[in-house]
Structure 1
Amino acid sequence: MRESTLMEKVTRRTISSFIFFIVSSTILFLAGKSSAKISHNGDNNVTALFLFGDSFLDAGNNNYINTTTLDQANFPPYGQTFFGLPTGRFSDGRLISDFIAEYANLPLIPPFLEPGNSQKKLYGVNFASAGAGALVETFQGSCVLK
């Protein structure tokens, strides 16, 4: 009985992750198609980005919360190729949000929980957190924020 319950939770989590990936990919694809029609001359009206998501967009928020090392990326090899040191991004380099910020002529968007330098936050804030989910079943038992 326990195995079937566990499999149901794993299956729901897998399906939820897959649906999130498909929806996100579709949005990015459509955004790319519409922006491809517009010539980018450096002039834009984008003044800030506000990012929400999970490990695909987490720029280091999990470095500042009490969570397991499974939900953190503040150790090698993360970040070594582009930044030269771990930044909390679940990538060896930049995230898709970093490329979007660059395209919009904005600096890298800092994590919301990063202490200090509020000047950086004038261009937007990254609220993404690895392991985040919208369903109650998402990583049940490891919630650090309520």
Structure 2
Amino acid sequence: MKSLRFYFCFLVLYASISFPTKCFSDICLPKDHVAFFIFGDSVVDVGNNNYITTNLQANFLPYGETFFKYPTGRASNGRLIPDFIAERANLPLIQPYLYPGYDQFIDGANFASIGAGVLAETRRGLVIDLNTQLNYFKNMETVKA
């Protein structure tokens, strides 16, 4: 029997979807432009936990030390899978959804949270659970539409 971690990782990969985009108010993008939206846990979180009240953070050294030379909130000392996918898709590094003042989601957003689980009961109050991540996406979609 496969572990729950395997199923969660599968769900994360399945939920990390590219959506075709078009014109947004005064900004028109090429027809083949895609936006990259990421949902999941520490495997794909690029720093959302830095902006919530929790001790599950990676905003100190050695996290980020090898590639970025400073802590980024990634649970790695370098880049994560979404960083490589964005690079391959000719997109900039996808910002955390909760990054203060950032509201340009033309290239996508990262909703993932270190320690998150599929169930809302997983580390309740310390992480952004999957349902909340999906609600963030829904709110972002209605604000930007």
Q: TM-score, normalised by structure 1?
A: 0.66
Quick check: which one's strand share is greater?
2
What SS class does the counterpart of residue 34 from structure 2 fall into?
coil
Q: Which residue of 2 aligns with 1:127?
A: 111
**C-alpha distance in 2 between matches for 1:24 and 1:144:** 16
Which letter maps to 2:95? P
> How many residues of Structure 1 are paired with residues of Structure 2 in the alignment?
114
**C-alpha distance in 2 between matches for 1:86 and 1:44:** 35
Runs of at least 5 residues in structure 1 that lack an aligned partner in the other structure? 1-13, 28-42
Aligned in 2, Cα 1:26/1:130: closer, same or farther, shift over 3 Å?
A: closer
Match of residue 79, structure 2, among 86, 91, 94? 94
1:1-146 to 2 correspondence within 5 Å? 15-21=3-9, 23=10, 45-68=32-55, 71-119=56-104, 121-139=105-123, 142=126
CA RMSD after TM alignment: 2.8
Greater relative contact order (Cα 8 A, min sep 6): structure 1 or 2?
Answer: 1
Quick check: which one's helix share is greater?
1
**C-alpha distance in 2 between matches for 1:115 and 1:53:** 20
**Larger of the two Rg values belongs to structure:** 1
Q: TM-score, normalised by structure 2?
A: 0.67
Identity of aligned residues (%): 55
